[in-house]
Structure 1
């Protein structure tokens, strides 16, 4: 932690458009009360920043270049990385941990809108809002919606959450007031911890087979690649809704396309692999699939929650306090 009353030197390292969106004038004013920073200097490429020697704090976000050995060699004073976004895996390298840098993330702030989107998707899915809306638009008449959509409604539905991540935990927290049976599957969670989240811990295959809605919140790891493959997609009961606001690689999209094209299941997909899907993908036009362009995370005014989280961390650092949202090296092996 800084030991002198002077303000530490800081630098923005991110895409310029992200700097402009995350740090408007009012945020910069608050920031400059605590650090010495040139608000117009944004490192999108460290090679283009001539003098990095005095930088003590990096304020990073989407588009930050990797902090490898060569970059760190040019920043001998660097002590902390405050990330104004979620995952730090794209830029915090082993060299950062070997240096002993302090790392903070705004992942908890970014988890809030993702969880809100997910909860909205759960409630709309069980209420069959999109399908009924389409039918109403087509027929423009009062029909017997319960007869057309048997089982319609949210009462006593089973919701399966795959992954007790920051987002997964937030989803469970938001769903607790509803009359749901909440299930969770996570290899790093025990039954007691699941109960404290208001859920019952079950095996992944059991969760998939039981859920009226199955929502994915696992990290992108080698062992979670195509977690929802053809075999597991086949375990979904007819009428189940699969939601993915986690990582696109969690689903085998060819297998999902085949299942969704049959009309057997529904899907709400905000992240894909690749992103964007090819224009010819049937997922764009299938009536039982809602495909959105990675909008569950922080956008528009929601970015200010991330900004405030990062500014709070800067203030803690400059006040000699520990980060509220530190990142541990070991945790990266099982996180997004």
Structure 2
């Protein structure tokens, strides 16, 4: 190891800590080789249990952990076994499951690939906004059943994406990315976020409104708020009841942000439509009526990074590792004071 801390010539001792499945998905051979070019990487297998003799031996001299899904909590006992550990680079989104108070008390630096994971979630959201605006699912079903196109000049004016009003709940990483992706399209975009004022919203190119106004005005509402005690059940019967007939609710955030019973009633009544990548609970019971609901589309929490999109997570983590080792600090730091507002 050159140097005793981040800066020119410093090669940190690092180890991957995550489930074997996560490592196989995100840290392919190319990513591991790239990591080895930056750091002295502990030999595989990855650490998925920090209490074993091998894990304690590895942790004894690591400066940095590259974490992922399934990383055990970095609690007081784990940190006691890792006296040199000073940084965590997470290859996924939320660090809540493994970065503990003990990490912050030590003053550790933490980075997350949440910005990279936000990209496919926003792309999924944009796709669903556009497809539901054209009523693609319903019209494809009718086409399959009738085997004829019908008279397109009699298409109802509620169908189409010109001049639709889209509401974004929370200017989170994903919410902001969705706003960016919506810009080339002919939408009016409203934003509800209690931490974004009117001037900041205008800078994003959207109109800041209250939550009730957003639901009452929007043809489509997309939910991107983190699940916090104050946001559990945030979207309830009153808000859902205020949506225009035929409006769409898209949820890629957390199922518990929405009152599932109230949403189910509104969807089964045919008053609104729903695209749900998350539910409460997840997965819904096999006999839940939304499975067969004509106006509900359920997907298996697939909006986030999958398949070749895992490479984006690895690339961001690699860049962050290199920045930290060079002394430049993280480009995507997770701050202790902001942790409560992250998904």
TM normalised by structure 2 equals 0.95
CA distance in 1, matches of 2:47, 2:255: 28
**Match in the other structure for 2:56:** 50
Query: Counterpart of 1:33 in 2: which secondary structure?
Result: helix
* Shift, 1:146, TM fit: 6.0
Q: Where does residue 28 of structure 1 map in the other structure?
A: 32
Gapped runs of 5+ residues in structure 2?
none
Moved more, 314-323 or 292-301: 314-323
1:172 is matched with which residue?
179
Aligned to 2:133: 126
Q: How many residues align?
A: 336
Distance 1:202 1:193 in 2: 12
Q: Cα distance, 1:144 vs. partner? A: 3.0
Residues 146 and 249 from structure 1, CA distance in 2 versus in 1: closer, same or farther, beyond 3 angstroms?
farther
Moved more, 150-159 or 290-299: 150-159
Q: State how 1:67-86 maps to structure 2 within 5 Å.
A: 67-86=74-93
1:307-326 alignment, distance < 5 Å? 307-326=314-333
Distance 1:228 1:147 in 2: 35
CA-based RMSD = 1.3
Q: CA deviation at 1:149?
A: 4.1
Q: In the aligned structure 2, how far is the partner of 1:146 from the partner of 1:250?
A: 40
User: Cα gap change, 1:237/1:22 in structure 2, threshold over 3 Å: closer, same or farther?
Assistant: same
CA distance in 1, matches of 2:298, 2:110: 34
Contact 1:172 1:197 in 2 (8 A): yes
Q: Displacement, 1:53?
A: 1.2
**Residues in 2 aligned to 1:215 and 1:331: alpha-carbon distance in whole angstroms:** 22
| Superposed displacement of residue 242, structure 1 | 0.2
Q: Distance in 2 between matches of 1:57 and 1:133?
A: 51
239-248 or 49-58, which moves further after superposition?
49-58
Of 323, 338, 343, which residue of structure 2 is paired with 1:331?
Answer: 338
1:158 is aligned, of 165, 172, 177, to 165
Query: Which of 258, 264, 268 is the aligned partner of 2:275?
Result: 268
Of 289, 306, 315 in structure 2, the residue corresponding to residue 299 of structure 1 is 306
Superposed displacement of residue 249, structure 1:
1.1
Gaps of 5+ in 1: none
Counterpart-to-counterpart distance in 2, 1:142 and 1:84: 47
- Tell me if the contact between 2:10 and 2:326 (Cα under 8 Å) persists in the aligned partners: no
| TM-score, normalisation: structure 1 | 0.97
Is the Cα–Cα contact under 8 Å of residues 268 and 294 in structure 2 kept in the other structure?
Answer: no
Q: Using the alignment, how far apart are the partners of 2:7 and 2:206 within structure 1?
A: 45
Tell me the distance in 2 between the aligned counterparts of 1:123 and 1:217. 17
Q: Give SS of 2:41's match.
A: coil
Give distance in 1, aligned partners of 2:332 and 2:21: 25
CA spacing shift, 1:39–1:259, aligned 2, 3 Å: farther
Decide whether the 8 Å contact of 2:13 with 2:42 is kept in 1. Answer: no
Pair 6,330 (structure 1): closer, same or farther in 2 beyond 3 Å = closer
1:233 aligns with 2:240: yes
Structure 1: which 4+ aligned runs deviate by more than 2 Å? 1-7, 144-150
Is 1:280 equivalent to 2:287 in the alignment?
A: yes
1:46 is paired with a residue whose SS is coil
Deviation at 1:115? Answer: 0.1
> In structure 2, how many angstroms separate the alpha carbons of the residues matched to 1:62 and 1:117?
21
Task: Report the counterpart of residue 222 of structure 1 in structure 2.
Answer: 229
Whole-angstrom CA distance in 2 between matches of 1:208 and 1:157: 13
In structure 2, the residue matched to 1:211 is 218
Q: Is the 8 A contact 1:132 1:145 kept in 2?
A: no
The aligned runs of 1:97-136 (5 Å cut-off) are 97-136=104-143
